[in-house]
Chains A and B, each alone.
Chain A
Amino acid sequence: MKNRLKVERAEHNLSQADLADRIGVSRQTINSIETGRYVPSTILALKLATVFGKAVEHIFTLEETD
């Protein structure tokens, strides 16, 4: 699964720690999602989408291998 988390963060001028604070996870979790090492649950994906005011599909997209 690909994601645009880093781009969205840059657009909203948020650090990994800021974003982690907003949705109640650790900075390591945000980092792991951005680098594709961790695939978040639906709840976490929806929380992230809410922070950026976008649809989940705008931030996370399936790859052919998924």
Chain B
Amino acid sequence: MKTKWLFPHRFRLIGWLIFVPSAILGLAALYVDFKISWLTANWLSESITILSGNSVGHVTENQDLTDEVAAIGIIIGLLLIGFSCEKVEDEMIGQLRLEALQWSVYANYIILAIAILTVYDMAFFNVMIYNMFTVLLVFISRFRWLIYRNNHTVLAL
């Protein structure tokens, strides 16, 4: 029985190679306002008129794409890590993957519900930034744990 919609096994490593630098870039962009100069998009620039006393000034702000690149990198990386075939991909692995996915969706929305009730204002915006990736992160962690536990049970017998 073939599992559908999976990437080849080697894509998992490619996923890690995309995810790790993207995550570091994303955290740097979020917390220390790190920007890559050549990722500035002039075509997305907007002109802002500033009124100060009697004088009027125009400022052109270019859109920085560092965080956009980081977010897309994180998404592509996590999808490749989570949905690449195992070395031996069989139906039991497929079932473990689906169970992990279901578990992560439940866990994610329980955590989100708690955050909705306990976090407000701009802090909630931060929660939403992390929430964009937590389904995949929790899914990958849970899936790897299930596989580890499964292999460990076999060794213990």
List A residues at the B interface (Cβ < 8 Å).
20, 24-29, 31-32, 35, 37-38, 40-41, 43-44
Task: Output the nearest chain B residue to A32 by Cβ-Cβ distance.
Answer: B92
Which of chain A's residues have a CB closer than 8 A to the CB of B86?
Answer: 26
Which of chain B's residues have a CB closer than 8 A to the CB of A38?
Answer: 92, 95
Question: In the complex, A38 Cα to B92 Cα: how many Å?
Answer: 7
Question: In the complex, A38 Cα to B95 Cα: how many Å?
Answer: 9
CB distance from B130 to the nearest CB of A (A): 33
A44:B1 contact, CB within 8 angstroms: yes
A29:B92 contact, CB within 8 angstroms: yes
A32:B90 contact, CB within 8 angstroms: no
CB distance from A53 to the nearest CB of B (A): 22
CB distance from A29 to the nearest CB of B (A): 4
CB distance from A62 to the nearest CB of B (A): 20
B91:A28 contact, CB within 8 angstroms: no
B157:A31 contact, CB within 8 angstroms: yes
The reply to whether the CB of B151 lies closer than 8 angstroms to some CB of chain A is yes
A26:B93 contact, CB within 8 angstroms: yes
The reply to whether the CB of B150 lies closer than 8 angstroms to some CB of chain A is yes
Interface centre among A20, A28, A32, A40 (most CB of B within 10 A): A28
CB distance from A12 to the nearest CB of B (A): 20
Question: Which single member of A25, A29, A35 contacts B157 (CB below 8 Å)?
Answer: A35
Task: Output the nearest chain A residue to B90 by Cβ-Cβ distance.
Answer: A25
Question: In the complex, A41 Cα to B92 Cα: how many Å?
Answer: 9
